[in-house]
């Protein structure tokens, strides 16, 4: 009922509709991200059979930020298996902000899930290697296998986050205190900040999302990036936790597994069908791109994309 041509037409209309929007603000707690050009806006979709559509600033490069989290979680699952990963990071939504420290301290002593910062830092610490470069290379290789090409790091964003990451440093210290991560806190944080500073464009993000939609097989090169079971695990967590303290509202209005990043990227997965990505650096107070939220809410409604829809419309 929904073919890619119909989706393309809707995405083109939604691009035009939200292009004039100036709602939201660039991320200010990482000073380098605050400098982003608020006019940048791109939308891309990639189907599980490798067809793609994109519009706007589709080749403009920005940093992954939290959109990296589900993919690095997948690498940890592939490397260590579920049991070990679950012993370090849970699978429950928090209802708190992405950078909250409250539940970790008050109750759980283990990060609730890998989409919030505490969980993602714990997951980065599971990417083992003889040194930081080796560990980073594993993550860069991972993103290359998803996108089909090599990625580099935005060193300015990395340094900017490293300098101002007082909250993440507090989280890492608590994680050490609770025996979730090892003593090399600064190296683990560096790895996490580097993974957040990997440069990508909107088409890459849609291709990465399409790989998850396709059960772990990259839809263009047809290489298996991760097992179907682990792809499903990631999608479950993106659904329940990917949008943090607005996961409920997102599930209600859009109904798709998703992940946002404070630089302005947002991906959503239509399982078995396609991956969609929107980039616009104007975010709301929950850390989600405002234009992207609007595009996904309208798109899901028009095409009945929620995973809970009956398919009848
Ligand atoms: O740890 C941080 O604060 C950032 N590097 C990533 C946060 C982020 O993208 C939150 N998502 N919307």
308 within domain boundaries: no
Q: What residues make up the domain containing 55? A: 3-65+200-303
- Collect all residues with Cβ–Cβ distance below 8 Å to 257 and sequence separation of at least 6: 212, 234, 235, 236, 238, 239, 242, 268, 269, 271, 307
pLDDT, tens only, 153-194? 999 999 999 999 999 999 999 999 999 999 899 999 999 999
312 within domain boundaries: no
Report how far ligand 1's centroid is from the alpha carbon of 183 (Å).
23
Same domain, 110 and 49: no
pLDDT at residue 311 in the model: 65
Q: Which residue's structure tokens are 């989290």?
A: 69
pLDDT, tens only, 278-287? 999 999 999 9
User: Is 99 touching ligand 1 by the criterion CB < 6 Å?
Assistant: yes
As a 3-state breakdown, the chain gives helix, strand, coil percent values, each rounded to 5, of: 50, 10, 40
Same domain, 128 and 79: yes
Q: Using CB atoms within 10 A of its CB, is residue 176 exposed (0-12), middle (13-18) or buried (19+)?
A: middle
The mean per-residue pLDDT over the stretch 91-112 comes to 85
Stretch among 105-119, 219-233, 296-310 having the lowest mean pLDDT: 105-119
| Mean of pLDDT over the chain | 95
User: Is 269 touching ligand 1 by the criterion CB < 6 Å?
Assistant: no
pLDDT at residue 313 in the model: 47
Which ligand 1 atom sits nearest the alpha carbon of residue 120? Answer: 1
Same domain, 167 and 85: yes
Q: What percent of the chain has pLDDT over 70?
A: 98
Same domain, 238 and 146: no
- CB of 262 closer than 8 Å to CB of 30: yes
Same domain, 84 and 186: yes
The mean per-residue pLDDT over the stretch 101-121 comes to 88
Minimum CA distance residue for ligand 1 atom 11: 261
Name the CA radius of gyration of the chain, rounded: 18
Q: Is residue 68 scored above 50 in pLDDT?
A: yes
Here the tokens at position 68 are: 């990296």
Same domain, 45 and 84: no
Report how far ligand 1's centroid is from the alpha carbon of 199 (Å).
14
Report how far ligand 1's centroid is from the alpha carbon of 2 (Å).
33
pLDDT, tens only, 213-261? 999 999 999 999 999 999 999 999 999 999 999 999 999 999 999 999 9
pLDDT at residue 2 in the model: 61
237 within domain boundaries: yes
313 within domain boundaries: no
User: Is 161 touching ligand 1 by the criterion CB < 6 Å?
Assistant: yes
The mean per-residue pLDDT over the stretch 105-126 comes to 91
Report how far ligand 1's centroid is from the alpha carbon of 3 (Å).
34
State the catalytic residues.
66, 69, 192, 244, 262
C-alpha to C-alpha distance for 125 and 107, rounded to whole angstroms: 22
- CB of 3 closer than 8 Å to CB of 270: no
Q: Is residue 50 scored above 80 in pLDDT?
A: yes
């Amino acid at each position: 009922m929904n073919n890619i041509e119909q989706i393309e037409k809707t995405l083109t209309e939604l691009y035009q509709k939200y292009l004039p929007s100036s709602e939201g603000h660039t991320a200010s707690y990482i000073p380098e991200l605050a400098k982003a050009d608020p006019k940048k806006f791109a939308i891309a979709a990639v189907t599980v059979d490798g067809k793609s559509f994109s519009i706007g600033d589709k080749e403009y490069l920005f940093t992954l930020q939290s959109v990296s989290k589900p993919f690095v979680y997948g690498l940890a699952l592939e490397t260590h298996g579920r049991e070990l990963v679950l012993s370090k990071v849970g699978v429950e939504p928090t209802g708190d902000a992405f950078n909250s420290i409250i539940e970790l301290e008050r109750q759980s002593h283990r990060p609730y899930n890998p989409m919030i910062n505490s969980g993602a830092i714990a997951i980065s610490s599971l990417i083992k290697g003889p040194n930081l470069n080796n560990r980073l290379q594993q993550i860069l290789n991972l993103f290359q296998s998803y996108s089909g090409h090599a990625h580099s790091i935005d060193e300015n964003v990395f340094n900017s986050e490293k300098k101002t990451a007082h909250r993440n440093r507090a989280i890492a210290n608590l994680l050490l205190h609770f025996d979730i991560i090892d003593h090399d806190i600064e190296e683990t944080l560096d790895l996490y900040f580097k993974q957040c500073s990997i440069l990508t464009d909107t088409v890459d993000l849609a291709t990465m999302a399409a790989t998850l939609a396709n059960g772990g097989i990259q839809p263009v090169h047809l290489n298996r990036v991760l097992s179907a079971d682990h792809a499903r695990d990631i999608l479950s967590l993106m659904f329940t936790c990917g949008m943090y303290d607005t996961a409920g509202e997102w599930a209600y209005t859009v109904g798709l597994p998703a992940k946002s990043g404070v630089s302005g990227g947002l991906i959503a997965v239509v399982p078995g069908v396609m991956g969609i990505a929107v980039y616009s650096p104007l975010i709301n107070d929950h850390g989600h791109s405002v234009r992207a939220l609007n595009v996904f809410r309208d798109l899901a409604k028009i095409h009945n994309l929620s995973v809970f829809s009956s398919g009848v419309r």
